[in-house]
């Protein structure tokens, strides 16, 4: 009888100690299921013990998403080139660790940061997913879904919200997107009042190709084209096939059918095909938008593949060139 009482008392004591231990763990910051956050990437569901504090981003868009939420990445790939291509109001801290190139980031540099989360992009980082997961929980996003029912703007918003969830900033994300909608609304009003000759536009990004200048023309499913429509402009380009990356590539002869539209373009100063290869090109010189001076340079650092802050920069550049000029 005494032995049974002892066993019962020992069992009760064990339960009490376990409860106390769990309570102390909670007070000391150890995670519980209630604290966990699950985010969805192309690599499936990724569960975190709580909001990520140290995040390494391997693609510029995801760094921008964090900055829009008031969060500095702990590490980032290809910082120098980011500054050449991306122009947004939020500044990247000089303390952010450069972890190498976007295509081949340094696993050693990433590991040295001891991140809570790594964010990669499918077309660059699927092949190294296991290596990344050996360092920290890793989520992969695909900004170019092959599902034609999902446009690239929808994908941008979905990914932005997932990243916000990962860092515990969902309310901030709602505010950012609401502010962006107001930017579109205000821009549309200004464009409607601008008395433009036409609201038809052709949006392009140009560079020197292997054989000749190449002009990337953005398609209706692209993020940039959808923004154009939101602010009251009309993208005239209709591709012959679905373009998963949101653009078709032409030489100068390929854009002659769009010569009555306004020509919006992005080109790098050190690779300005319009000042070099096309300046004396007879086809280019005889296009209506060239002869009528309806050419609108948006600047080489207007990034058309980013998140909400790049979207705002894009709209502001259109207003500065198309409306105020």
Give the CATH number, domain containing residue 84. Answer: 3.40.50.1980
- 150 and 58: one domain? yes
pLDDT at 14: 52
Selection from 216, 237, 234 nearest residue 226 by Cα? 234
Tell me how far apart the alpha carbons of residues 169 and 50 are, in angstroms, rounded to a whole number: 12
Query: Does pLDDT of 303 surpass 80?
Result: yes
Query: Does pLDDT of 62 surpass 90?
Result: yes
- 119 and 199: one domain? no
Query: Does pLDDT of 30 surpass 60?
Result: no
The answer as to whether 18 is a domain residue is no
Query: Does pLDDT of 300 surpass 50?
Result: yes
The band of 105, judged by pLDDT with boundaries at 50, 70 and 90, is very high
Number of domains the chain contains: 2
Query: Does pLDDT of 274 surpass 80?
Result: yes
The answer as to whether 29 is a domain residue is no
Strand ranges (E), 174-226:
200-208, 213-218
- 264 and 236: one domain? yes
* Residue 39, strand partner residues: 46
The band of 12, judged by pLDDT with boundaries at 50, 70 and 90, is low
- 152 and 206: one domain? no
Start-to-end CA distance of the chain, whole Å, equals 97
The answer as to whether 31 is a domain residue is no
The answer as to whether 2 is a domain residue is no
Question: Where a domain ends, among 170, 193, 216?
Answer: 170
Question: Where a domain ends, among 149, 170, 191?
Answer: 170
- 164 and 51: one domain? yes
- 123 and 47: one domain? yes
- 113 and 205: one domain? no
Percent of the chain with pLDDT over 90: 72
pLDDT at 138: 96
Question: Where a domain ends, among 116, 150, 170?
Answer: 170
Mean per-residue pLDDT of the chain: 89
For residues 61 and 158, the answer to whether their CB atoms sit within 8 Å is no
pLDDT at 237: 96
Tokens standing for 187?
Answer: 């821009």
The answer as to whether 67 is a domain residue is yes
Strand ranges (E), the chain:
37-41, 44-48, 55-57, 75-76, 97-98, 117-121, 138-141, 200-208, 213-218, 234-235, 247-250, 262-266, 295-297
pLDDT at 281: 92
The band of 311, judged by pLDDT with boundaries at 50, 70 and 90, is very high
The answer as to whether 108 is a domain residue is yes
Dihedral over alpha carbons 140, 142, 143, 147 (to 10 degrees): -150
- pLDDT digit string (tens) for 109-155? 999 999 999 999 998 998 999 999 999 999 999 989 888 878 899 99
Between strands 247-250 and 234-235, the pairing is unpaired
Tokens standing for 251?
Answer: 């030489």
- 147 and 274: one domain? no
- 199 and 298: one domain? yes
Dihedral over alpha carbons 281, 282, 284, 285 (to 10 degrees): 110
Q: In what side-by-side order are the strands of the sheet with 55-57?
A: 97-98, 75-76, 55-57, 117-121, 138-141
- pLDDT digit string (tens) for 173-223? 999 999 999 999 999 999 999 989 899 999 999 998 888 889 999 999 999
Selection from 48, 44, 91 nearest residue 67 by Cα? 91
- 185 and 92: one domain? no
pLDDT at 325: 61
- 201 and 70: one domain? no
Query: Does pLDDT of 18 surpass 70?
Result: no
pTM of the model: 0.85
The answer as to whether 26 is a domain residue is no
Tell me how far apart the alpha carbons of residues 121 and 97 are, in angstroms, rounded to a whole number: 19
Quote the domain boundaries for residue 282: 178-323
- 80 and 110: one domain? yes
């Amino acid at each position: 009888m005494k032995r049974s009482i002892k066993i019962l008392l020992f069992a009760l004591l064990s339960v009490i100690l376990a409860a106390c231990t769990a309570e102390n763990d909670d007070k000391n910051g150890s995670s519980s299921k209630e604290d966990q956050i699950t985010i969805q990437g192309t690599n499936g569901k990724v569960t975190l013990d709580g909001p990520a504090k140290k995040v390494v981003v391997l693609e510029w868009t995801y760094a921008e998403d964090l900055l829009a939420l008031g969060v500095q990445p702990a590490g980032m790939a290809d910082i120098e080139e980011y500054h050449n291509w991306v122009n947004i109001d939020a500044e990247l801290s000089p303390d952010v660790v450069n972890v190498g190139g976007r295509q081949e980031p340094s696993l050693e540099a990433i590991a040295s940061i001891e991140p809570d989360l790594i964010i990669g992009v499918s077309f660059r980082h699927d092949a190294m997913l296991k290596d990344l997961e050996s360092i920290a929980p890793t989520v992969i996003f695909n900004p170019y879904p092959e599902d034609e029912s999902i446009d690239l703007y929808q994908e941008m918003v979905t990914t932005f919200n997932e990243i916000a969830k990962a860092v515990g900033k969902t309310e901030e994300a709602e505010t950012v997107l609401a502010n962006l909608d107001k930017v579109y609304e205000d821009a549309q009003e200004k464009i409607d009042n601008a008395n433009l000759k036409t609201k038809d536009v052709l949006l392009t990004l140009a560079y020197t190709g292997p054989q000749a200048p190449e002009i990337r023309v953005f398609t209706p499913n692209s993020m940039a084209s959808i923004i154009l429509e939101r602010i009251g402009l009309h993208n005239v380009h209709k591709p012959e096939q679905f373009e998963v990356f949101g653009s078709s590539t032409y030489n100068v002869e390929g854009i002659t059918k769009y010569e009555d539209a306004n020509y919006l373009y992005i080109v790098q100063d050190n690779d300005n095909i319009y000042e070099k290869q096309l300046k004396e090109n007879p086809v280019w010189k005889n296009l209506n938008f060239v002869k009528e001076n309806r050419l609108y340079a948006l600047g080489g650092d207007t990034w058309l593949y980013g998140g909400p802050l790049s979207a705002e920069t894009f709209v502001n550049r259109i207003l500065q060139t198309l409306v105020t000029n």
